Amino acid sequence: MKYAVLICGAMADRTMPDYNNITPLSNADTKCLDDLAKYSEIGLTKTAETADKYPVEKSVLALFGYDPKTDFKGSAVLYSSSIGIVPEKDDVIFKCSFVKLSDEEAYEEKTMISEVMPGGELDDIFKDLCENFNNDIFEFVRKDNNIFLIWKKGELYAGDFAVPNEAVSKCIADYLPKGDFAQPIYNIMKRSCDVLKNYSADSVWIFGESAVYDLESFKDRFGLECCVVTDTDFVRGIAVYLKADIVSCGEDVSKTILEKLQKNDIVFLYDSRAYEYSLSGDFEMKTKVISDFDKNIIEPVVEEFQKTGEDVGLMVVSDIAVPVHLQRFSSEPVPYLIYKSFDKKNSNASKFDENTAADSDNYIPDSFDLIKRLISRQ
């Protein structure tokens, strides 16, 4: 038995009055998906609340079959682990960005003008941060253009650490670290203004607090050898802790999936291309990305499945809704499709989209249950 889970990031949307009350998914040319829908379980599932921190990371973790309420340990370590930076078990790790601030004298009164990519200055900036702040408790670490701060034996969830894009064009006072144990991080950010005074960045911005994950491997939890195909850093980080095989998408994504299925029981694909156009409000380009996802990825995988004659299972799902007209995350349920060659359904659906998924009356309140539905022989 072989399985494929194809996650089209940000695929889910809302109907658009300017486009005859359709969504990019319903507007897309998805012939293969629509054919599958006739014989599949389709429905809606709840992935993550947008009021939560890191809804995308939580929603993807859930689609692997892990409950974010108990298994999510933060964001930064997923990014760091994907590039080989893994802190010790009792350490806390943060992501670091750099920001341009206004000229008010008091740090708390400054306005964030923008995030800054230091570019050619990064070597010197990193060196100065290390010389001024690294000690037995805190350590700035780096790989390529990625900088993290490790708090050795630190306090997880020590406070509220805002992501920098929340504070752009606003006074930073309401977005600075807050909480019982957040003061040391706040002090580093404030002192960095003096350290960085000769650079294009005015301050380091520290966020995304995270502990090392202690997850049961995918093989141990579900009894299946797993591979993850993606170019997205945090998804690669999740795969590290699932002890899954990890591979980049390559030029021919469907070929990569099928090759990996020869050695694994289940292959996950995470494709993030729809995010760009969801967040920029481009309905037509989001539609095209979904059409391409169907034609270039889903269709070749399904055709190969049909040739083998082997029992197969396929799930197609979005991680989270990112409506084009909002240009941000939204908390409504997302559509899913589960096809099993040995258990064909009669869904009476001629199209797979948000509306037909809602009309099915299938609703899975916890999306981490979807994997069990896919691999069940019931």
Pairing of strands 146-151, 138-143: antiparallel
Tell me the pLDDT tens digit for each residue of 267-319.
999 999 999 999 999 999 999 999 999 999 999 999 999 998 889 999 999 99
Averaged over 29-57, what is the pLDDT? 92
**Domain limits of the chain?**
2-69+216-375, 81-211
Residue 91 and residue 38: Cα distance in Å, rounded?
50
Averaged over 1-9, what is the pLDDT? 97
pLDDT for 161 beyond 70: yes
Q: What is the pLDDT of residue 260?
A: 98
pLDDT band at 36 (very low <50, low <70, confident <90, very high): very high
CB 280 within 8 A of CB 19: no
Pairing of strands 203-211, 146-151: unpaired
pLDDT for 20 beyond 70: yes
pLDDT for 51 beyond 70: no
pLDDT band at 19 (very low <50, low <70, confident <90, very high): confident
Q: What is the pLDDT of residue 2?
A: 97
Q: b or e along 22-32 (b: 16 or more beta carbons within 10 Å of the residue's beta carbon)?
A: bbbbbbbebeb
Averaged over 339-366, what is the pLDDT? 93
Alpha-helical segments (H) within 196-316: 218-222, 233-242, 253-261, 273-280, 283-293, 299-308
What would the two tokens of residue 373 be? 């539905």
pLDDT band at 25 (very low <50, low <70, confident <90, very high): very high
Q: Which helix (H) or strand (E) holds 93?
A: strand 92-101
Q: What is the pLDDT of residue 27?
A: 96
Residue 157, burial from CB neighbour count under 10 angstroms (0-12, 13-18, 19+): middle
Q: What is the pLDDT of residue 378?
A: 60
Enter the pTM of the model. Answer: 0.93
CB 119 within 8 A of CB 172: no
Phi first, then psi: give them for residue 153, nearest 5 degrees: 50, 40
pLDDT for 48 beyond 90: no
Pairing of strands 203-211, 92-101: antiparallel
- Identify the CA nearest to 338 among candidates 317, 320, 359: 317
Averaged over 17-30, what is the pLDDT? 93
Q: What is the pLDDT of residue 157?
A: 76
Averaged over 24-41, what is the pLDDT? 97
As a whole-number percent, the residues of the chain with pLDDT over 90 amount to 90
- Identify the CA nearest to 340 among candidates 56, 24, 111, 3: 3
Q: b or e along 53-85 (b: 16 or more beta carbons within 10 Å of the residue's beta carbon)?
A: bbbbbbbbbbbbbbebeebbbbbbbbbbbbeeb
Tell me the pLDDT tens digit for each residue of 164-208.
999 999 999 999 999 888 999 999 999 999 999 999 999 999 999
Tell me the HSE value of 191 on the side-chain side, using a 13 A CA sphere: 12
Tell me the pLDDT tens digit for each residue of 67-114.
999 999 999 999 999 999 999 999 999 999 999 999 999 999 999 999
Pairing of strands 363-364, 41-45: parallel
Q: Give Dmax over CA atoms of the chain in angstroms.
A: 71
CATH number of 2-69+216-375, picked from 3.40.720.10, 3.40.50.720, 2.60.40.10, 3.50.50.60: 3.40.720.10
Residue 204 and residue 221: Cα distance in Å, rounded?
39
Q: Is 346 helix (H, G, I), strand (E, B) or coil?
A: coil
